[in-house]
Chains A and B, each alone.
Chain A
Amino acid sequence: METERSPRPSAGGAASRVVGTHAVLLELDGLEQVWAYAAEAMRRRAAGQLGPASDIVAGARTVLFDGLADPAAFCDELASWSPDPAAASSGRLHELEIRYDGEDLEVVAEQLGMGREAFIELHCAREHRVAFLGFAPGFAYLAGLAPHRVARRSTPRTRVEAGSVGVADEYTGIYPRASPGGWQLIGRCDAWLWDLDRQSPARFAPGDRVRFVPAAA
């Protein structure tokens, strides 16, 4: 039995709960489900079924819906959703060049018990997926290093330059603008990531695929 205070996801299912007075948190089993529900939510919002002010935030295991007029009713509505996993994302492929010259490259390779060249090879061999966006406009969490996990810097840098490529946990991230940051820096990438003059200002959407190639020296 579920209780009021402890939602438990069931196999293949999902549990939702009201958060505060205007939001609902939907707990899911993994990223594929997260992308499927987030894509379904975006589709419904575009069709005017969610309200224009609603916010949809994909997490690593959750989708948050904010700005809801009646969150309890929305929980009931969610029960009738059956998102198509195949429609989870365009799955657009981005091929991005990286100059692997970051200050923490050696530290990261050492953490993972490999040489610097082996790490670069691993990073380029993997297909990374955009798990979710957060931290800063256009900043994407690119999942692709598992089962390897990189520890963050114990002291975050007060300034990380735009275009810096960092790794933390199983994620790679590219800083769209200069900001403080605690991820280990492995290189630089000149691709656009956030551009307010574009119709969709963020390059990445959850579910997109990313491959890295080493920039010619």
Chain B
Amino acid sequence: MSRTVTVVRPGALTTVQDLGRPGFAHLGVGRSGACDEPALRLANRLVGNPEPAAGLETTLDGVALRFLADAYAAVTGAPAPVRVDGRPAPWAAGFGVRAGSVVEIGPASAGVRSYLAISGAIAVPETLGSRASDVLSGLGPAPLRAGDELALGAPGEPPPPVGFAPFPAPEDELVVRCLLGPREDWLLTAGRAALGRTAWVVQSASNRIALRLGGPALALRRGELPSEGLVLGAVQVPPSGEPLVFLADHPVTGGYPVIGVVPEPDVWRLGQARPGARIRFLPRHGGHARRSGQAP
């Protein structure tokens, strides 16, 4: 019996994700991976997979798959109705699926991205050590299309007896830390005050690359910043003055000042912020300067 699933309804954007491909930024390749990493890890635990295994990440409206083999499945992340052959199945809990059944994740009632883990994990070929689909670079498998067939790996241990894992639901107003730097000195005084005072609104142009925020334009120093490396969670202010927060598929370099970084685990919560959600930053003084090299 072939251990595969076929795609009945791909949803708006459903991709294979694991924990990404760190270590290749010097080639221009970003890390990618699940936008809400704890949700993927939990889904994998619930079906007995290693936490970093590849699962599916949906976007707002879920996915439907026909299982061609018996397997365990679990759905975490953005809460959504889960059905097996039309009958309700649990969310954030493992459940058994018989060969021939259709598992459907419906529209998310909150948040953006639901995660589906299947025992044995998605076994598409790896690219640079990862199965993650990077929408910026095009590395990894293409987003799911109707009729696609996805191979599953051999199931490992049976799932743990834990039936349900408590998991926080995504929020409509998120308060996240913002560790200032490295270029917070590009913000003029008024901009600095506005950063923490504003309820930023998530724009619909947001995607796996970045959350685009709407609000008052932050006043910036004039000038050009030479391109420099970007990290996950970087809060960048382009000339428009409206900040972006970089998510999993961010570019490895950028030419606009990064005034702060949203640290893990807060950045995973931003991976669930839907258009219209409000975000508040708690600015904190982050890194401190050191001197090195040949300096006296």
Contact = CB atoms under 8 A, between A and B. Distances in A.
Interface of A: 2-8, 10, 12-26, 38, 42, 52-64, 66-67, 71-72, 75-76, 78-82, 132-141, 177, 196, 200-202, 205-206
Contacts of A139: 28
Contacts of A18: 181, 286-288
Contact of A13 (B185, B228, B261, B293): B293
B292 A16 contact: yes
B188 interface: no
A6 B25 contact: no
Given A4-B285, A6-B185, A10-B295, A135 B28 contact: yes
Nearest to A29: B293
A60 B181 contact: no
Nearest to A11: B295
B253 to A, nearest CB: 3
Contacts of B127: 196
B180 interface: yes
A137 B181 contact: no
B28 A20 contact: no
Contact of A21 (B27, B179, B252, B285): B179
Secondary structure call for the B interface = loop
Nearest to A83: B293
Contacts of A19: 179, 181-182, 231, 258, 261, 286-287
Which 4 pairs from chain A and chain B are nearest by CB? A18-B287, A64-B229, A13-B295, A57-B229
Contacts of B261: 19-21, 23
Contacts of B27: 133, 137-138, 200-202
A55 B23 contact: yes
B51 interface: no
Contacts, number: 195
B291 A15 contact: yes
Nearest to A201: B27
Interface string B241-265: 0000000000111000010011110
Given A57-B25, A57-B229, A138-B28, 6 more contacts: A17-B290, A18-B286, A20-B232, A22-B264, A52-B23, A141-B227
B86 interface: no
Contacts of B25: 55-57, 64, 66
B285 A20 contact: no
11 contacts: A2-B289, A5-B289, A13-B292, A55-B229, A56-B25, A67-B23, A79-B293, A135-B28, A135-B251, A136-B28, A137-B24
A63 B50 CA distance: 34
B226 interface: yes
Contact of B182 (A4, A17, A78, A140): A17
Contacts of B193: none
B294 interface: yes
Nearest to B137: A137
A158 to B, nearest CB: 14
B128 interface: yes
Contacts of A140: 28
A168 to B, nearest CB: 10
A59 B228 contact: yes
B184 A60 contact: no
Given A19-B182, A136-B28, A60 B295 contact: no
Contacts of A75: 290, 292
Contacts of B229: 23, 25, 55, 57-59, 62-64, 66
